[in-house]
Amino acid sequence: MDNLLEIRDLAVHYYSNRKVVEAVNHLSLDMKKGTVLGLVGETGAGKTTLALSIVNMIRGPQGKIVQGSLRFNGKDILAMGRQELRGLRGKDIAMIFQDPMTALNPVLPVGDQIAETVIRHEGLTRAQGWKKAEEMLETVGIPGIRSREYPHQFSGGMKQRVVIALALACNPVLLLADEPTTALDVTIQAQVLDLMRKLIRENGTSVLFITHSLGLVAENCDEVATMYAGEIVEYGTVDQVFGRPLHPYTRGLFGSLPRLRDSQRRLTPIPGLMPDPTALPRGCYFAPRCPDKMPVCGEIHPRDHLFEGHRVKCHLYGGNGREAGNER
């Protein structure tokens, strides 16, 4: 198996005000080398938490990975020492955040922020680092001379380009892109996405592409996973999921797909709200909102069912498919 990333039975909790937020629950997910995996789900589904877990960046005392394992290229990330983790972050796994406005340090020139990464990971000298930073800026369409400028001197779209340059500076194997275009204007979104697509193709980078927009998934991804209340409820290739969505939640997402491909719009399609992550229901988490709810849904938490690699966590398929648990 040439899985780049294997997440098994991951659970992440946040502790705030004496309550436990169960942000990620018993989540398993694999990523093959060179694929672009789209991760869709409402705000609060735990997408960012999942991405941060992958680089072991859930920080105490509020947050904690309470269970599960994360393997990257066969190595257990959760067992890595601090030094090894730091060697991994920014080098093998890079991350792009939703908001370019706050992702860059306001008091350091953008060139410095790129340079220090390459200096850290590639053992370059200062001068070489800056040169590399300028090259990276050029790659994302920003004149190299602007490397001495500070973040506030760039527009939002330009900042996100800088962030992309920063993330790709060390040729990462895996890129975690957390809603990289949500904060941008629609016109700029397209430009930034084109740029990302180009760079990713050139380098063969694998991408976990977190987004609200099914349209963007269709355009950019090979595979797609739907996340709900900290779980992956459906997973498959783009053809499988778009061709025949199995989970009622995914179907709800398609039903609410905006007519015009308006990727700005948030996904709040299905009536009702996500369950409170501090008090998840006993049965299926989606049951309270589910149009196809059965009596069993309120009682028993569904298992994964597999149909030729297309995975769904729903009681509707209890009789038909093979249970994923048996296969493991």
Ligand X SMILES: Nc1ncnc2c1ncn2[C@@H]1O[C@H](COP(=O)(O)OP(=O)(O)O)[C@@H](O)[C@H]1O
Question: Which parts of this chain interact with ligand X (CB under 6 A)?
Answer: 14, 16, 21, 23, 41, 43-49, 62-63, 277
Nearer to other proteins, 57 or 66 (CB): 57
Token pair listed for 95: 């991350």
Residue 120's binding partner out of ligand X, Mg ion, other proteins, none, with CB under 5 to 8 Å set by partner kind: other proteins
Site for other proteins in 70-99 (CB under 8 A): 82, 85-91, 94-95, 97, 99
166 binds other proteins (CB under 8 A): yes
Site for other proteins in 27-46 (CB under 8 A): none
Residue 277's binding partner out of other proteins, ligand X, Mg ion, none, with CB under 5 to 8 Å set by partner kind: ligand X
| Residues written for the chain | 328
Residue 23's binding partner out of Mg ion, other proteins, ligand X, none, with CB under 5 to 8 Å set by partner kind: ligand X
- Could you give the angle at which helices 156-168 and 186-203 cross, rounded to 10 degrees? 10
Distance CA(326)–CA(196), nearest Å, equals: 38
205 binds Mg ion (CB under 5 A): no
CB atoms within 10 A of CB 12: 23
Nearer to Mg ion, 119 or 216 (CB): 216
Residue 117's binding partner out of ligand X, Mg ion, other proteins, none, with CB under 5 to 8 Å set by partner kind: other proteins
CB atoms within 10 A of CB 149: 16
Residue 256's binding partner out of ligand X, other proteins, Mg ion, none, with CB under 5 to 8 Å set by partner kind: none
State the amino acid at position 25 in one-letter form: N
Nearest distance from C-beta of residue 47 to Mg ion, angstroms: 5
Residue 46's binding partner out of Mg ion, other proteins, ligand X, none, with CB under 5 to 8 Å set by partner kind: ligand X
Nearer to ligand X, 47 or 132 (CB): 47
48 binds Mg ion (CB under 5 A): yes
| Residue 143 and residue 195 in contact, taking contact as beta carbons nearer than 8 Å | no
Distance CA(61)–CA(96), nearest Å, equals: 24
Distance CA(51)–CA(45), nearest Å, equals: 12
Nearest distance from C-beta of residue 132 to ligand X, angstroms: 31
Among 1, 107, 127, 260, binds other proteins (CB under 8 A): 107
C-alpha of 20 from chain center: 23
Q: Which residue has the tokens 């257990």?
A: 76
For 180, residues 6+ apart whose C-beta sits below 8 A from its C-beta are 96, 97, 98, 160, 163, 164, 192, 193, 196, 209
Residue 45's binding partner out of other proteins, Mg ion, ligand X, none, with CB under 5 to 8 Å set by partner kind: ligand X
Among 120, 146, 265, 301, binds other proteins (CB under 8 A): 120
| Residue 118 and residue 170 in contact, taking contact as beta carbons nearer than 8 Å | yes
Nearest distance from C-beta of residue 306 to Mg ion, angstroms: 28
| Residue 109 and residue 148 in contact, taking contact as beta carbons nearer than 8 Å | yes
List beta partners, residue 117: none
For residue 61, is the peptide bond before it cis, meaning its omega torsion is within 30 degrees of 0?
A: yes
85, HSE (Cβ side, Cα atoms, 13 Å): 15
Nearest distance from C-beta of residue 327 to ligand X, angstroms: 28
Interface ranges with other proteins (CB under 8 A)? 55, 57, 61, 82, 85-91, 94-95, 97, 99, 102-108, 113, 116-117, 120-121, 150, 152, 163, 166
Interface ranges with Mg ion (CB under 5 A)? 48
